[in-house]
Amino acid sequence: MHLERLESVEAHIDRIEKELFKTLEPHADKLTLLMTIPGLASISAAIILAEIGVDMAVWPTEKHFSAWAGVAPGCKETGGKAKRAPVRKGNPYLCTILMECAGPAIKTKTCHLGPKYHKLSAQLGSKKKARMAIAHKLALIIYRNLAANAQYKEPSPKPMSKKVQARIKNKRVSDLERLGYKVTLEPLDPAS
């Protein structure tokens, strides 16, 4: 009996998915644009497209869109000092699907969102807050891609500044010296 019930539920899900994709057929190009974003599969892209539509002119900026989606960081300012605040309330369905899509986006090896997530979770001390920040990034990417009608392109990594390089070098040297090693650094020959 349980297997029959499970099979009937799966049949209902298949029927609903077919209806959803049939309804979104006129916007198949937008659907394929969304599916180029890391973390978004066909169903999640269809749900997002069903929630927001295809016209990005409704929102003046990407910040307005992320606030409407419910993933924008809150703003609490008192006495001229900005303090942490919970995220704003927005579309609960879009917020939920963006949080769900943040998981696979974090695990994508070629995406810049994974290292950003790990950095934020270490800084904030909360994996949930870091995941919300990644959902916010996804909302911004979705808005930009749909507004420009362009496929997702992975941003090129920024080169490390001399100051950051020096700080990393000094930290590694001090760590090795603390372990009892004498460290001398010689720059590599650029020709080799």
- Give, in degrees to the nearest 5, the angle at Cα 171 between 168 and 175: 140
According to the model, what pLDDT value does residue 78 have?
82
pTM: 0.79
According to the model, what pLDDT value does residue 85 have?
79
pLDDT band at 191 (very low <50, low <70, confident <90, very high): low
Which residue blocks in the chain are alpha helix, DSSP H? Answer: 2-23, 28-35, 42-52, 62-69, 92-107, 113-124, 127-148, 162-178
Residue 81 pairs in a beta bridge with: 78
How far is 97 from 99, CA to CA, in rounded Å?
5
Q: Convert the pLDDT of each residue in 61-115 to its tens digit.
A: 999 999 999 998 887 888 888 887 788 788 899 999 999 999 999 998 888 999 9
- For the segment 119-145, the average pLDDT, to the nearest whole number, is 93
pLDDT band at 184 (very low <50, low <70, confident <90, very high): confident
According to the model, what pLDDT value does residue 80 have?
81
How far is 191 from 172, CA to CA, in rounded Å?
25
| Res. 192: pLDDT tops 70 | no
Q: Convert the pLDDT of each residue in 144-181 to its tens digit.
A: 999 999 999 988 888 888 999 899 999 999 999 999 99
Q: Convert the pLDDT of each residue in 3-50 to its tens digit.
A: 999 999 999 999 998 998 898 899 999 999 999 999 999 999 999 998
